[in-house]
Every structure is written in structure tokens, then in C-alpha cells.
Amino acid sequence: MKMTIGEIASAINAKVDNVPEDSLKQEVDGVCFDSRKMKPGQLFIPLSGDHDGHDYIESAISNGAAATLWSADRVSRLPIAIPALVVADPLASFQELSRYYLSKINPRVIAITGSNGKTTTKDMIASILSSTFHVTKTHDNFNNEIGVPYTILQMESNTEFLVVEMGMDRPGQLDFLSKLVQPDVAIITMIGEAHIEFFGTRDKIADAKMEITHGLKADGMLIYDGDEPLLAERAKHIETIKRTFGRHESNDIFPTETTDSKYQTTFKVNLWPDVELTLPMIGDYNVNNALAAISVGQVFQIHPTLIEKSLAKLDLTKNRTQWLVGKKGEKILSDVYNSNPTAAKEVLTAFQETPTKGRRIVVLGDMLELGAQSKAMHAGLAANIDPSQIAMVYLIGSDMAALYQRLQPVFAPENLHHYAADQLDQLTTDLDSQLATDDEVMLKASHGLHLENVVAKLVK
């Protein structure tokens, strides 16, 4: 993003203080809401949450902030060292600025949501489109009311496609985000149990996911999992162009064969019977994500050869079914970006099918936001843990106690371990002491458990 202070003020209808007339022409290069990460020339966005961002203005200034948004109810503390753009609500103005900038750059917008697979699908779509166009995609999991505007404002002026991931944990959230970005294509990867604590049933989750269509352009397209009855029923009432993907032959695109190996998955699709496609990741379930991405490639007339090459060289978001090598030579499957019952079962199944000369070891942490059904859903993972394939299990978190109890009859005490959420260091020490060169270890949990810290220590 490159805009002058004057243009920003006009776009969000801000009152400008501490700005000589000629300073309105000063160019701002990007936005930042974490003063510690501020780069010279950026606009500081003081958001309020657990802490009030206004309290960190001195840090932002010392790190090079060119200007700042500023809440009208804090004008008594107005900074004098840099221009201040006074607004009623910095978050709302931040969002409005992103809306203005999106309209200014005017890329095609691909919006993705789903209970599982949206980040991987985002990466796949961005890879395919990047073979032909200039693309900006959501960084990490910046997929909420703050992350989506931030993604928009990271676009370079030559961006032709914006691939934006959208998360949700309450009704109305996707309605807002969809109307903000006004997608040309909306994608729903699947309906699972993620965030069921807030919705109660999968039906209500499906209702909320369909909100992604609320901002869809008049000539836009909805791409969704045609094997999911909850989506198929709701899609009937959406008057837009639709395409489906899935395993059944009734879908517009479906796989005709799939093959898993230790580090990759190969498959063919009905559209190109003789073309073998390769994903540099394990798990048959990832084929569905690829089908959605291929559908986008088709819509924008990407040649099949380019799609094939783009999927094969896929650059995945860190800690998504990512194979690493530990300091002892052990193979580590890091999938600690997030977790829910559907995703955990899928990766457990795939992991148990990988060939190994050593032992397979599983580390699982709590899956958050599952509500009253949480303990039962954690215990339900037992069906996907085969003691003939898994040598040791390490569990962490209060709800994983339910799985620990379920597994006690089938694992010897020395091979089954449970830790409280604040015992991450102890888990790491115990696990590291057991690992050997030929072993494989898989780690998966919701991000709030911070298993990425365990991964970091194992690979040092």
C-alpha cells in the first residue's frame, strides 16, 4: 500500500491534526497495528483489545511511524510528533481504508472459508493463479475482521488477484467479511465441527458458512463441496453460477484415482484423464482442497500444465502437514497450525499409513471451541489411533484427558502420557528423550496449545 496522508484522510473522512498543508502529500507505505513490528513510513493503527493500542504510540513513533489513526475520545492524549488522523473508531476506519484501497486496486477476489482446509486451499489457489497473474494471498491465519483488511492493505499496486481466507466463530462474521471484499468467487471447503461451541449444530455452521455469498458480485461464482448435503441444500437457494467438487461423479470435478506415499499424494481427475497431479503433502483428504483450487484455475483459464506444475511446487503455510527433520534425524510431521476433530482424524489416518523403519509417535493437544461435546469428540479420536501402528502417544490439555482415559486399555502406561496445558516444557523433555533416528513423530493441536514450541525445540 502506498497512499498519501491526505488521500488516507479523505478515504476515511478523518480530521487531520498536527499536519502542515505540505505534509498531506507525505506518502505512507503500509499499515501496522503492533508497535513492536512498525517499519519506518507506516501508518499506525491503535486497536483496542486486551490492551489499548493508543498506549503504545511512543513505541510506534520510535520505530518510524509516519502517521497514526487516533480515536476521537482520546484527543486529550493526541501525539504531537507525527500526524494524527482523528476518527470515531480506529478499527472501523482501518476496515474502511481497506475497502477504499481494494476498490482502487480492483483485483479479482477469491474468498475461501470452511471448517477445515481453507488455508491449504488458499495456498493452492494462490500457487495456481501465480503461474499467470500477480497474486496477493492471506498471510498465515490473518482471516478475521482485522486480518482481512490487513491482507488487503498489503497488496502491491500491480495485484491482479487477491486470495483471501475467511474464518468465523460467530454468526454474522462472514457476512461482514464477504461484503467487505465482494468476492468474484466464493469457496466453501467443507462443514465440520470447528467452532461448534458457538453454533451448537453443523446445520447452523452451514448457515454461517453460506454468509460468504452475501457479498458475492452479481456475476460471481460459488464453488463448494458437492458431497456435503448441508451445502447442496442451501446452494439451491443461491442464484449465482455454481460449481461443485468432491468424490462422487455427480460433481463437476472429482478424482478418478488417488495414491498416497510418504511425502506426497498423486491423483487424476475426470477433466484430464491422462494427467497425473502431485501434491507435496500426505493425506488423501488434501485432494478435495486441490479440486477446489483446480476449479478456480479452470474459471480463469489456467492451462492444465500450469496447474500441474503449480500444485507440484506448492508453498504451504508453515506447520500445515509439514515434514521436518529433528536434531536426532527423526522425521517430524508438524500440523500444529490448528485442529478440529475432522482434521485430526484425517491426519492421524494418513500418518499411520506412512512407511517407517522406526516407531510412529503421536502428540495431540486440545482441540478448542468444541463446547459441551468437546470431551466426547476428544475421546472419539481413539478410533483413529491404531496401537499396532502407533508406538507412543503424548497428550496435552484438559480435554485430552478424555482421550487418555479411552486409550488406557490399549496402551501400556509407559507408552501413553498426559500433561496439563502448562506442562509443555515437560512434554518436550520427555518426548525428546524417547526419540531415535528412524522414528516419526506427528504433532497436532489447536494453536492455543502452542505445539509449535515443541516442534522448534525438536528441530534445533
Strand pairing category for 440-444 and 331-335: parallel
Q: Where are the beta strands (DSSP E) in 263-354?
A: 265-269, 272-279, 322-325, 331-335
Cell of 235: 446452494
CB 62 within 8 A of CB 38: no
Are 298 and 110 spatial neighbours (Cβ–Cβ below 8 Å)? no
Query: Which helix or strand (DSSP H or E) is residue 15 part of?
Result: strand 15-17
Q: CA separation (Å) from 279 to 78, 136, 284, 289, 291?
A: 53, 21, 10, 10, 11
118 carries a ligand binding annotation: yes
**Contacting residues for 118 by C-beta, under 8 A, at least 6 apart:** 112, 143, 165, 166, 167, 189
Give the residue from 313, 326, 246, 325 showing the smallest Cα distance to 281.
313
356 has binding-site annotation: no
- Residue 147 is assigned to a ligand binding site: no
Residues 18 and 85: their CA atoms lie apart, in Å, by 9
- Please tell me whether 76 is known to bind a ligand: no
Is 18 marked within a binding site?
no
With beta carbons less than 8 A apart as the criterion, state whether 212 and 113 touch: yes
User: Is 117 marked as binding a ligand?
Assistant: yes
CA distance linking residue 259 with residue 248, whole number of Å? 17
Tell me how far apart the alpha carbons of residues 448 and 427 are, in angstroms, rounded to a whole number: 16
Q: What is the rounded distance in angstroms from the CA atom of residue 428 to the CA atom of residue 94?
A: 40
Distance CA 92, CA 9 (A): 14
The H or E element spanning position 176 is: helix 173-181
132 Cβ partners below 8 Å, 6+ apart?
300, 302, 306
Q: Which residues contact 106 (CB under 8 A, 6 or more apart)?
A: none
CA distance 64 to 83: 12
3-state class (DSSP) for residue 431? helix
143 annotated binding-site participant: no
- As annotated, the binding site for ATP includes 114-120
- Could you tell me which residues are annotated as the binding site? 114-120
